[in-house]
Amino acid sequence: MLRSLLGAFAAFLTATSVQAQNQAAEWPSKPITVLMGFPAGSGVDVIARMLQPSLEKSLGQRLVIDYKPGAGGNVASEAVAHAKPDGYTFLLGTAATHGVNPALYPRLSFDVEADFTPISTLVDVSNVLTINPTVIDATSVKDFIAKVKAAPGKYNYASTGNGTGTHLAFAEFVHKAGLDMVHVPYKGGPDAIQAVLKGDVCCIFNQVQTVLQHAKAGKVRLLGVTTKKRVAAIPDVPTIDEAGVPGYESYTWFAIFGPKGLDRPIAEKMNLAIKTALDDPETQKKLAELGNTPRYETLDQFKATVKADRAKWAEVVKQVGAKVD
């Protein structure tokens, strides 16, 4: 009897494996939807649009970008967490959606580790201290710190929303530098940048790619990048660490996730498409020009990254006392 049951179970596992392999061989047979938890024109959207042609070429299908902004990316994340794991719904997530948000939103309707299939990181992204010189005419990080300390509570800084990477990057900077500044959250990158350009706030930590054009036009000034190393797109801009706040480092990543239960052969096929796109020299050049570093990881490597970053950002959130409204 036991032998018969074991044989039946083994046959079931074999049939299931064959079915998954057949589904992967046929996948994708129709357009794939990628949900975006941030507004059109945001930094993560720029990367998605840049990689879209290469991914479509590798997969042989169209990618449909579906914008579902809100709650720091949680609206899109929730939709993918509860989506059918058939290989036709993915999430373009970030270190904020899967690292920061679990610490900020204690009552999420999903688990960022258990309810997703991590596919691969896409890029590492550096933020840069960006100021409007008509509001605060600082020429360096040390000069900026001195001017802010001379007028406690006077200067407001923008972010792309409560608990986002831009918020925590600046909050940690304020904490380490001993500054007294007011945080003003906006609904996404475009609104936050406009607030800086108009002079409603003095400054922001935002992705290099989103502020570079404004810096070239002389509308903003870039004082320091948040990563340990300088960014190739702006080599003359020092790191925050070397420019006056020793030990400071903050960066984010963008990545692709599938829903829980996605067959591994399909996940591996999407992972390979991402690797192919990131290996393209022209794509690497475009990413570097915008201040991003391509970052491919295997399924297992990325799973470990999510786990580690969740712990890291929980500590940062606790340290700076970040809260959502």
- Can you give the pTM of this predicted structure? 0.81
- 277-317 pLDDT, tens digit per residue, is 999 999 998 888 888 889 999 999 999 999 999 998 898 88
Element containing residue 285 per DSSP (H, E): helix 281-289
Which pLDDT score, from 0 to 100, does residue 19 have? Answer: 57
Residue range(s) occupied by CATH 3.40.190.150 in the chain:
11-124+252-320
Tens place of pLDDT for every residue, the chain, 325 residues?
566 666 656 555 665 555 555 567 899 999 999 999 988 888 889 899 999 999 999 999 999 999 999 888 999 999 999 999 999 999 999 998 999 999 988 889 999 999 999 999 999 988 999 999 999 999 999 999 999 999 999 999 999 888 788 888 999 999 999 999 999 999 888 899 999 999 999 999 998 988 999 999 999 999 999 988 899 899 999 999 999 899 999 888 999 999 999 999 999 999 999 999 999 999 998 888 888 889 999 999 999 999 999 998 898 888 878 777 5
Looking at this protein, which amino acid is placed at residue 279?
A: D
**Whether 238 contacts 252, CB under 8 Å:** no
Sign of CA dihedral 123, 52, 232, 137: negative
- Specify the pairing of strand 251-259 against strand 221-225: unpaired
Residue range(s) occupied by CATH 3.40.190.10 in the chain:
126-243
- DSSP codes joined into one string, 155-170: -EEEESSTTSHHHHHH
Could you give the 3-state DSSP secondary structure of residue 139? coil
**Number of other residues whose CB lies within 10 A of the CB of residue 227:** 21
Q: Can you tell me the distance from the alpha carbon of 162 to that of 188, in angstroms, rounded to the nearest whole number?
A: 10
At residue 63, φ and ψ (nearest 5 deg) are: -100, 125
User: Which residue's entry shows tokens 């083994």?
Assistant: 10
| 322 class by beta-carbon count within 10 Å (0-12 exposed, 13-18 middle, 19+ buried) | buried
- Specify the pairing of strand 116-131 against strand 63-67: unpaired
Spell 144-174 as b/e; 16+ CB within 10 A means b.
bbebbeeeeeebbbbbbbbbbbbbbbbbbbb
Q: What angle do CA 50, 197, 144 make, to 5 degrees?
A: 105
Which pLDDT score, from 0 to 100, does residue 318 have? Answer: 86
Which pLDDT score, from 0 to 100, does residue 324 have? Answer: 73
Which pLDDT score, from 0 to 100, does residue 4 have? Answer: 65
At residue 252, φ and ψ (nearest 5 deg) are: -130, 170
Which pLDDT score, from 0 to 100, does residue 241 have? Answer: 95
User: Which residue's entry shows tokens 């610490």?
Assistant: 103
Is CATH 3.40.190.150 what the domain over 11-124+252-320 is classified as, yes or no?
Answer: yes
Which pLDDT score, from 0 to 100, does residue 21 have? Answer: 57
The CATH architecture assigned to 126-243 reads 3-Layer(aba) Sandwich (3.40)
User: Which residue's entry shows tokens 């692709």?
Assistant: 256
Q: Can you tell me the distance from the alpha carbon of 135 to that of 52, in angstroms, rounded to the nearest whole number?
A: 38
Which pLDDT score, from 0 to 100, does residue 106 have? Answer: 82
Which pLDDT score, from 0 to 100, does residue 298 have? Answer: 98
